[in-house]
Amino acid sequence: MVNVKPPSRTQFLHSPRSHSHREGVSANRSNHSQRPRNHVLQALPTNDWERLAPQMRHALLISGQTLHRAGQPTERVYFPNAGLVSLVAESEGASIEVAAVGRNGMIGALSDLSSKSAFATAVVGIPGNALWLPAGVAYEEFQRGGALRDVMLRHTAALLAETTRSALCNRLHSVEERLSRWLLSVGDYTDCETIDVTHENIARLLGTRRSGVTVALGSFAESGLIDTSRGHVTIRAKSQLEDRACGCYRKALATG
Ligand SMILES: [Zn+2]
């Protein structure tokens, strides 16, 4: 998962599970008296936040919604407060997740803004909500050379690191290992042990067959690591699931 570190790691990366997903969000415009949960926005100094907040708008992130498509113009930069967005590479009807962004990052990387087109398709995997800025406003802010530029550069570096890790993971590690990693990562970044996702969607994100996902989930359930029901997977034994994951999960935690 792409991660931009806010000023205080302990304050923001380990926020309690009881936080409301609507914290810091008003009906449409951003309420700039309250900082949103998004780590990029939390990392901004007060002056920068107060200047940008009136231009921020609120959006619900709906499962399956495409925020932008690879190769097409990026019109909005999203800062999720809750939920998870998959950045997906597609070719000849097949697809695979190359990175995922939750409240730790932003959708609309610097590369997207400077090239004026998205490098990957962004699809909401886990529903939630976000604040967004028009891409032109975000790019102008970058060119001002202020604090948002610094967090955008850090985010771009983190995104590059994650896509590199994903390339290796997708090539070298088994479906079971990658599935464990994916479930654990999603659980971490949504602060929720129950993940609303179908076998088909997991297979699409992992770039593998649905039957392979179903077999691996069945094996985890038999071992008591997870419970599955229609459209849901619940993590029951996180540490044991970690034992089944490839080392990429712990590497991402260590560097994130
Ligand atoms: Zn891996």
Taking only the tens place, the pLDDT of each residue in 145-173 is 888 888 888 888 888 888 899 999 999 99
How far is CA 167 from its chain centroid?
A: 17
The DSSP bridge pattern shows strands 94-101 and 76-91 to be antiparallel
Confidence check: pLDDT of 20 > 60: no
Report the C-alpha gap between 23 and 38 in whole angstroms: 10
CA of 173 to the centre of ligand 1 (A): 5
How far is CA 12 from its chain centroid?
A: 16
CA of 182 to the centre of ligand 1 (A): 9
For residue 94, how many other CB atoms are within 10 A of its CB? 10
Residue 192's pLDDT band (boundaries 50, 70, 90)? confident
Specify the pLDDT at position 31. Answer: 57
Among the candidates 123, 143, 169, a domain finishes at: 169
Residue 229's CATH number:
1.10.10.10
Question: For 79-106, how does the pLDDT look when each residue is reduced to its tens digit (9 = 90+)?
Answer: 999 999 999 998 888 889 999 999 989 9
Query: Who's near 146: CB < 8 A, 6+ residues apart?
Result: 48
Entry pTM: 0.79
CA of 80 to the centre of ligand 1 (A): 25
Structure tokens that stand for 41 in this block: 């926005």
Question: For 62-73, how does the pLDDT look when each residue is reduced to its tens digit (9 = 90+)?
Answer: 988 999 999 888
Q: Does the residue 4 lie in any domain?
A: no
Among the candidates 120, 145, 169, a domain finishes at: 169
Query: Who's near 166: CB < 8 A, 6+ residues apart?
Result: 97, 98, 99
> What's the domain count of the chain?
2
Specify the pLDDT at position 252. Answer: 82
Task: Say if residue 45 is in the same domain as residue 134.
Answer: yes
